[in-house]
Structures are given as structure tokens and as C-alpha cells.
Amino acid sequence: MLRRPRRLRASNSIRNLVRETKVNIEDLIYPLFVVEGENIKEEIKSLPDVYHLSVDRLEEEIKELNELGIEHILLFGIPDEKDCCGSEAFNDNGIVQKAIRKVKEIDPNMNVITDVCMCQYTSHGHCGILTEEGYVDNDQTLEYLAKISVSHAKAGADMVAPSDMMDGRIEAIREALDENGLETVGIMAYSVKYASNFYGPFREAAHSAPSFGDRKTYQMDPANVNEAVLEAELDMLEGADILMVKPALSYLDVIRRVKDNFNLPLAAYNVSGEYSMLKLAVKEGLLDEKAIYESVMSIKRAGADIIITYFAKDIAKMLKK
Ligand code: PBG
């Protein structure tokens, strides 16, 4: 036998030498949920080991991330007040804006990315402004997304991440940022975002489930992949700095397709449902925690350069061992 693949599997060191894919701590973005109020650190029931934090409790969280070597966060704000048009989302003293300033005060080097969407902020829970018929009005919503992005950027965000799936939003946001002298602030676009059932635990965490209907008129049909390439292309042409596919694990083929077609950094969102399933299985002792690394690594192997994951702390601890 001339070819014996097992030769390269014979010892730990030889396996280390030929390993093709590695997850690095700097690839990972950790989502943070910030709430109004004081002295709040409350575990989110649907997301074990993930917390709702008030701004005054951010310091210990950021210190923990620093110690683990996690350099990027994705901020989600959960406001107290909701209305038709998500006014709290572009309030310069809103929950995300306060959190951004606080994180930058604690650690100016923390890369702060903010989720730009309206669903946590609207009384109806949809990701935009509604027409009288209850349809999300694309072009009117663009003005709001642009205002929200500018407000986040002025508070000090390094990058904004629009997750609403309106058409033309990247261009609208890019123009608004530039007009406000914020041309160094980047855009990580939720380019390929499916109307997925795997967002369930997040919607409980963010109180953002739609009060009627669903998100199928703006988020993508899980069956489509040509459309993913089209969405990614539009975002690239409109000025996105980083593209994203979401969710990740049930969409590894989509990640590969987008990666092979575009020369922009590609992120994948390992979403709440993907997290909670596996986390609970590990907590119950059904699976070894190494399944977490294997699962996150598969997203990288599929082609993602960057992974947004609630597992970032678990991975950091495993990498340190
Ligand atoms: C906001 C938003 C959602 C997620 C990220 N941003 C929920 C949704 O679209 O309903 C989901 C993240 C997760 O499940 O971890 N639009």
C-alpha cells in the first residue's frame, strides 16, 4: 500500500501538524444583551449561561471577556419603552447607546459591533415601520435604520450590523454614516438571513417576537440558496465590509456558496437555537463539551472567517486548556 492516511493520524503532534481548520479566539464575536435598570445580572432562561446585564454590570463582564481573550462583542439592547416606530432605537440616550459608551470607557480596544434592527423596539415586534395593512414598509424603514446606525456610531460603535433584511439598507446606512463624517465606521451586513425557527430562544431573550404574523415577507425562505448569492452581491455592491450568513449550522452549504463567490470577510451567526440545543445536551451529560468545539469548528471549515457565537466563552476556556 503506497497510501496510508493513518500515518498522519498516528500521534497527537502529527495530528496537530496537519490540522486544516482551527478556531482562533480572535475569530469569535460574543453577543451581549443589555437591559435598562441597575445592578441586573440575570441568566436568560432560554439561553443557559447567557445574561441580561444592566449598564452598571458591564464592567465585570468586559473584564471577564478580556481575561478570556475575546475582543469583539455584538450588542443587543432591550429597551423599557416600545412604540410604533421604535423611537428608543435612535435615542442618543437609549440602552445600546449608553452601553456602547460604557464599554468604550471600560476598554477602548474592545471591538463594539451593534445589532441594528427595530424588532426589540417596536410595539408590534416587526423589524420596521408598518403600513396600515400591516406590511413592513421597506423604503420608510430605511430612513429609520439609517438614523439608528448614525446614533450607534456617534455613541462610539466600531461597526453596525443591520439585521432587518430590508432591501437597499446597506446603501442607505453607508450614505448616512458618510454624511455624518462617520466613514470609518464599518458595516457587517446580515446579508443572508433566513426566516428560521432557530431564533426562538433569542426572541424570548430580547422580547422581540412579532405580535402577529411572521417575518417571511422580509427574511429569506430557508429553501433558497441562489437567492443567498443575490443578497450577498447586493450588500457587497452597496458597501458592506463584512457579509454574514445566519443561522450557521443548518446552512453550512450556504456559507460555502457565499464564501466561494465573494472576496469579503464572511461571518456566520451560530444562533440561539443552535446554542441552546447543544448547551442543554452538554449540561445534561448527553454529549461531551468537545462537541461544542467540533460544532463551531464546522462553521469555520464550511468557510466562515468570523463566527458570532454564545459559545465564545466556552471555546476560549477550551482553547486555554
Ligand atoms: C433581530 C435579530 C434576531 C436575531 C439577531 N438579530 C431575531 C430575529 O430576526 O427574529 C437572532 C439571533 C439568535 O437567534 O441568536 N432581527
pTM score of the predicted model: 0.97
Comparing 94-108, 196-210, 221-235, 304-318, the range with the smallest average pLDDT is 196-210
Q: Residue 188 phi/psi, 5° resolution?
A: -100, 110
Cβ atoms within 10 A of the Cβ of 210, count?
15
User: Is ligand 1 within 6 A of the CB of residue 119?
Assistant: yes
- Ligand 1, atom nearest to 163 Cα: 16
Answer yes or no: is 4 within a domain.
Answer: no
Residue 156: inside a domain: yes
Instruction: Give pLDDT tens digits for 238-286.
Output: 999 999 999 999 999 999 999 999 999 999 999 999 999 999 999 999 9
Q: How many CB atoms lie within 10 A of CB 262?
A: 17
User: Which set of grid coordinates corresponds to residue 161?
Assistant: 450590523
Ligand 1 near 170 CB (within 6 A): no
Vertex 170: Cα angle to 106 and 304 (nearest 5) = 70
Our count of domains for the chain comes to 1
Domain annotation covers residue 203: yes
Torsion of CA 116, 255, 234, 138, to 10 degrees: -40
**Which of 98, 102, 246, 279 does the annotation list as catalytic?**
246
Q: Is the confidence at residue 189, as pLDDT, over 90?
A: yes
CA 6 – CA 10 distance, rounded (Å): 6
Percent with pLDDT over 70 in the chain: 100
Q: Is residue 12 part of a domain?
A: no
Q: Supply 69's cell numbers.
A: 481573550
| 118 C-beta closer than 6 A to ligand 1 | no
Please provide the average confidence, as pLDDT, over all residues in the chain: 97
> Across residues 91-98, what is the average pLDDT?
98
Domain interval for residue 218: 25-320
CB atoms within 10 A of CB 171: 17
Residue 18 lies in a domain: no
Does the pLDDT at position 198 exceed 90? yes
Q: For residue 193, give the DSSP letter.
A: E
- Catalytic residue check, 246: yes
pLDDT attached to residue 239: 98
Q: What is the pLDDT of residues 10-20, one digit of tens each?
A: 999 999 999 99
Domain-embedded: residue 16: no
CATH number at residue 290: 3.20.20.70
Please say if the pLDDT value at position 37 is more than 90: yes
Residue 187 domain flag: yes
Query: Cell digits for 41?
Result: 445580572
- Is residue 204 over pLDDT 90? no
Interval 54-76 mean pLDDT: 98
Ligand 1 atom closest to the CA of 210, numbered from 1: 10
* Residue 283 located in a structural domain: yes
What pLDDT score was predicted for residue 42? 97
User: 175 or 207: whose pLDDT is higher?
Assistant: 175
**pLDDT grade for 321, boundaries at 50, 70 and 90:** confident
